[in-house]
A = this chain, B = another copy of it.
Amino acid sequence: MTETYRRILLASRPEGLVTEGNLEVDDSATVPEPADGEALVRVRYLSIDPTIRTWMNDAPGYLPPIGLGDVVRSGGIGEVVASRSPAYPVGSQVFGLTGWQEYVLAQGGAMTVLPEGVEPGAVLGVYGTTGMTAYFGLFDVGGITAGEAVLVSGAAGATGSVVGQLARIADASRVVGIAGSAEKCAWLVDELGFDEAINYRTEDVAARVRTSLPGGADVFFDNVGGPILDVGLANLAMHARVVLCGAISQYNEDRPTGPRNYTNLIFKRARMEGFLILDYMDRFPEAQLQMAGWVTEGRIKHREHVVDGLEHAGEALNLLFSGGNTGKVVVAL
């Protein structure tokens, strides 16, 4: 007897936020049998990342667009339920590109077996691409050194919240975050050790950044783009580094806005640099080990925003753009 399983397919390309019509819930696929060297994985958690939204566009990027009718591409964690590969023992937890679906086949080397006892939320967050993005973005691309001032946008998100805490660990002179609610700002200051947090929905961000960083930011870690990127560019210290991590305010826009203040890079002899975490995968183990130490010491705290049900994955993705989440968004299946 064949068993079927649920998958979320990309039915049409979204304009702006993802709507119900963009996704198709398909219950007709047959659970596959693993071939030699493969394992069958029951997916348990999905990692909801802004980059998924960019893959839905029919535009060249660092990975090909998700094809119409294809399962939505996504990182996730699952459990090996059948195996014909010694690399994936039955019962083990694995991490990799699972897609938005209940089952996936793990082929040789494509997934990572997790050590026992690690929290899935932490694996997808601080130890996953979002935490790694914070780590390599701040240390490698941003080149932060002790005594420097750091500005982080999207500060209550999965990456931004880790950036601020890492800046603290790196002995930054000042850590200022920009976030979208009073509750988020309180979390940043009271629990994560940010010096100041600015609520961009209710405050004059330009004025607040000017007063909270009178000497400008040595490192500006930008997750959002748009007007907030411009505020950051207007408040750079000499020889500043702007780390371009994302542009979450722009991914849903037809015609993204460019940063008018980019010429300040000239006057401040500053640099704006993009990166993709894919390039750092061979250095993840080193960074994850260090991160694990800080998590154990309580110097890195993390929070997950869990959405229940595969059928709500689209809404979970939209949370990132409406700012409805604090910390890492995860879908539990």
Contact = CB atoms under 8 A, between A and B. Distances in A.
Given A258-B260, A261-B258, A274 B279 contact: no
Interface in A240-283: 244-247, 250, 255-276, 279
A295 B124 CA distance: 59
Interface in A113-158: none
A228 to B, nearest CB: 13
A263 B276 contact: no
A264 B275 CA distance: 10
State how many copies of this chain the complex holds: 2
A270 B273 contact: yes
B258 A269 contact: no
A99 interface: no
B276 A266 contact: yes
B230 A267 contact: no
B269 A265 contact: no
Among A230, A256, A260, A263, which residue has the most Cβ atoms of chain B within 10 A? Answer: A263
Interface residues of A, number: 32
A61 interface: yes
A212 B89 CA distance: 52
B274 A266 contact: yes
Nearest to A264: B274
A152 B270 CA distance: 20
Contacts of A261: 258
Contacts of A76: none
A225 interface: yes
A268 B262 contact: no
Interface of A: 61-62, 225, 230, 244-247, 250, 255-276, 279
